[in-house]
Chain A
């Protein structure tokens, strides 16, 4: 009997485990090893170089640009996305059901497009001469505000951030709407009877009760902000430019590996990014572990 169970369990688990180990864990483990070597990506062997690659990261000005830009993305993108997401979701709660449903679908549209498509489309929008943005500004007489959005260092990263926010906000509207719908209606009614205005209802009732969703959103968006590779690679000048203004770690890694043929060094970047992402996830989940509100 016992043996039969084992056999069944192994039969069920082993294929999945083997796939996971071969295609997920083993590349990770190899990246850790490769980050300590000078592997070129085409040679059959790699020489052990110790921590050299990690030391080099500290002096690589383009990589440091990338770290700075990812840090900025990490601060701005989750905050803005969540703020807009919460705002729209709580607006939808107070609007009529049919309109709310319609908007929810419209907000979700960008989620259906691949990031590459989004980046290409926004590349057209940002075109300085014929793009929608500048043409729109000129049409309403604000031609003075028109810029070469992706080619000016002051605006390029902001332009990338706007695309990231635009592409993800719809998903969080849906997520937060679902969380808000889970809040018992009586609580809102009670707040209304107590004379709470819209803002007080939001900050005292809605927000505390969707905390968990917001926290999860922070982790997801944080990870997306540490990546941002696809949008930058497709849309920006250079890519990663002008002059490193939109460089992100993923792009540095990609270029180092596939253009420069330095897989060892690129692996070191990957390992650094891995730890950054891990730390972020742990911190974000820990910080919110405080008292849980009981609804009952």
Chain B
């Protein structure tokens, strides 16, 4: 071999880099944001709307359903799919039960090829406010006004529990329907209370007096899921809402100046600061995860624990036999409260939505009409001991003590249910509230500091032009 040819037998480092750079250009072009913007979406080339088919579903259009397969499984969704199949035998149904719905759906939303129904639930779900501001979800007005599947003479809208439609409404459009109904309150063991002769208090003064008695009996009055401070937030904010009424809640959600300085909120914060100050919170609670705190409560180390209505299902196998947990409503702060003591914080979850760019949006809505029928909801309640968002779905069922108390609380509250929307609208504000409440119940800040801090965070969100604002 001619030694001269050895001078440049191999490409130099420079030529390799150059080649690499050229090769990389098409790859870089495949960027996340290169998806085409709205071409109006592949709207339903739907069939005619009739009484039998109020949403105009094309009988042979395929339907893709993506469901969060968490604590409730996905059997209930499969059942509704079977009903859909019966109604439209020529439709091909594609079912996916996933744990990480958000992760799987994000690229499909970006690419503009989402499925027809998404149950946007579970850890890592997509932020619904973000989906709304990106115009990725369908307005469900047609569905809400369609006749209910199995309750003649009623529209779908009228079959739902109070607040369900509002929970899915963003900027005047209902874009999500939540399938389960959650109520927040303070839980205790009925058998423990009967043994000790304690009665669940109706007012905060009674609560404080009872706490003193419980502490004397050698039991910690309260524990909470300190690792996640939002748990102790719920009774605090519920108490504030009862004191200040719907106006207080609205002012908070609408980011009104000074909203967090309202008397009801400061009073509620003071009440919980007192609870901590008197030593009525089980020591160490501040570092316990929800499983640890709830287990301690089930072992009767503490009398009360704040939680949503999923608690009973979550403690299956942990709570001893005969524990008989029941949920009480948050006691009234004072006699001048705007809402009755029976009022409850209630919100729906398991959020079903129809993507704006779904190929079979009409089919997606029809699927939801089937899912939200009374029959489907009752079957769900029976299988999961959870209250569905459909009114009367648990009528005639024999319920466990926890679920029974939840249903009774909902019945007693009637239309006096409330919910804060800022948690879903403005996630950074929710984080600020959680942090502040964590500090409050650990006696590191005063109730006044608490409201000042949160007000500052709320003002920052209100001023931030990059955040889509909602009002109610």
Q: Which residues of A contact B (CB under 8 A)?
A: 1-2, 5-6, 9-10, 13-14, 17-18, 21-22, 25-26, 29-30, 33-34, 37-46, 49, 52, 62, 123, 126-129, 148-151, 153, 237-238, 241-244, 255, 258-262
B336 at the interface (CB under 8 A from A): no
Residues on A with beta carbons closer than 8 Å to the beta carbon of B439: 242-243
Residues on B with beta carbons closer than 8 Å to the beta carbon of A153: 444
Q: Is there an interface contact between B27 and A26, defined as CB atoms closer than 8 Å?
A: yes
Cross-chain contact of A260 among B16, B127, B227 (Cβ < 8 A): B127
Residues on B with beta carbons closer than 8 Å to the beta carbon of A2: 5, 9
Q: Is there an interface contact between A259 and B28, defined as CB atoms closer than 8 Å?
A: no
B109 at the interface (CB under 8 A from A): yes
CA distance A62 to B435 in the complex (A): 11
B415 at the interface (CB under 8 A from A): no
Cross-chain contact of B131 among A22, A42, A44, A150 (Cβ < 8 A): A42
Q: Which of B27-44 contact A (CB under 8 A)?
A: 27-28, 30-33, 35-38
Q: Is there an interface contact between B32 and A42, defined as CB atoms closer than 8 Å?
A: no
B82 at the interface (CB under 8 A from A): no
Known: A43-B136, A258-B124. A151 touches B287 (CB 8 A): yes
Known: A5-B9, A34-B32, A242-B442. A21 touches B27 (CB 8 A): yes
B133 at the interface (CB under 8 A from A): yes
Known: A40-B133, A148-B287. A127 touches B435 (CB 8 A): no
Q: Which residues of B contact A (CB under 8 A)?
A: 5, 9-11, 16, 19-20, 23-24, 27-28, 30-33, 35-38, 102, 106, 109-112, 124, 126-127, 129-131, 133-136, 226-229, 283-284, 286-289, 292, 296, 427-428, 431, 434-436, 438-439, 442, 444, 466
Known: A14-B23, A243-B435, A261-B126. A41 touches B36 (CB 8 A): no
CA distance A259 to B426 in the complex (A): 10
Cross-chain contact of B28 among A1, A30, A258 (Cβ < 8 A): A30
Closest to A247 in B: B435
A237-B287, A238-B438 known; 8 new pairs, CB 8 Å cut-off, are A10-B19, A17-B23, A22-B27, A30-B28, A242-B442, A243-B438, A258-B124, A261-B127
Cross-chain contact of B112 among A44, A244, A258, A259 (Cβ < 8 A): A44
The 3 tightest CB contacts between A and B, nearest first, are: A261-B130, A44-B35, A128-B284
Q: Is there an interface contact between B442 and A42, defined as CB atoms closer than 8 Å?
A: no
Residues on A with beta carbons closer than 8 Å to the beta carbon of B435: 238, 241-244
Q: Is there an interface contact between A261 and B438, defined as CB atoms closer than 8 Å?
A: no
Q: Is there an interface contact between A26 and B229, defined as CB atoms closer than 8 Å?
A: no
Closest to B428 in A: A260
Residues on A with beta carbons closer than 8 Å to the beta carbon of B284: 127-129, 148
Q: Is there an interface contact between A129 and B283, defined as CB atoms closer than 8 Å?
A: yes
Known: A21-B23, A238-B227, A258-B124. A45 touches B28 (CB 8 A): no
Known: A22-B27, A43-B136. A237 touches B227 (CB 8 A): yes
Cross-chain contact of B134 among A10, A42, A262 (Cβ < 8 A): A42
CA distance A140 to B24 in the complex (A): 63
Q: Is there an interface contact between B229 and A238, defined as CB atoms closer than 8 Å?
A: yes
Q: Is there an interface contact between B110 and A42, defined as CB atoms closer than 8 Å?
A: yes
Q: Is there an interface contact between A26 and B30, defined as CB atoms closer than 8 Å?
A: yes
CA distance A33 to B34 in the complex (A): 12
Identify which of B19, B124, B296 gathers the most chain A CB atoms within 10 Å of its CB: B19
Q: Is there an interface contact between A127 and B287, defined as CB atoms closer than 8 Å?
A: yes
Residues on A with beta carbons closer than 8 Å to the beta carbon of B106: 41-42
Residues on B with beta carbons closer than 8 Å to the beta carbon of A17: 20, 23
Nearest-neighbour CB distance to chain B for A31, whole angstroms, equals: 10
Nearest-neighbour CB distance to chain A for B315, whole angstroms, equals: 18
Residues on A with beta carbons closer than 8 Å to the beta carbon of B37: 44-45
13 A-B residue pairs with Cβ-Cβ distance under 8 Å, sorted by A, are: A26-B31, A29-B28, A30-B32, A34-B33, A42-B109, A42-B130, A44-B38, A45-B33, A127-B284, A149-B287, A237-B229, A242-B444, A243-B436
CA distance A9 to B19 in the complex (A): 12
Nearest-neighbour CB distance to chain B for A245, whole angstroms, equals: 10
CA distance A34 to B439 in the complex (A): 35
Identify which of B9, B32, B102, B124 gathers the most chain A CB atoms within 10 Å of its CB: B32
CA distance A128 to B36 in the complex (A): 53
Cross-chain contact of B11 among A6, A33, A262 (Cβ < 8 A): A6
Residues on B with beta carbons closer than 8 Å to the beta carbon of A44: 33, 35-38, 110-112, 134
Nearest-neighbour CB distance to chain A for B187, whole angstroms, equals: 20
Cross-chain contact of A126 among B32, B36, B134, B287 (Cβ < 8 A): B287
Closest to B103 in A: A258
CA distance A45 to B109 in the complex (A): 11
CA distance A55 to B51 in the complex (A): 57
Cross-chain contact of B288 among A22, A41, A127 (Cβ < 8 A): A127
CA distance A222 to B24 in the complex (A): 31
Residues on A with beta carbons closer than 8 Å to the beta carbon of B31: 26, 30, 33
CA distance A67 to B428 in the complex (A): 18
Known: A2-B5, A129-B283. A13 touches B36 (CB 8 A): no
Nearest-neighbour CB distance to chain A for B351, whole angstroms, equals: 14
CA distance A150 to B289 in the complex (A): 11
Known: A18-B27, A128-B283, A242-B438. A42 touches B33 (CB 8 A): no
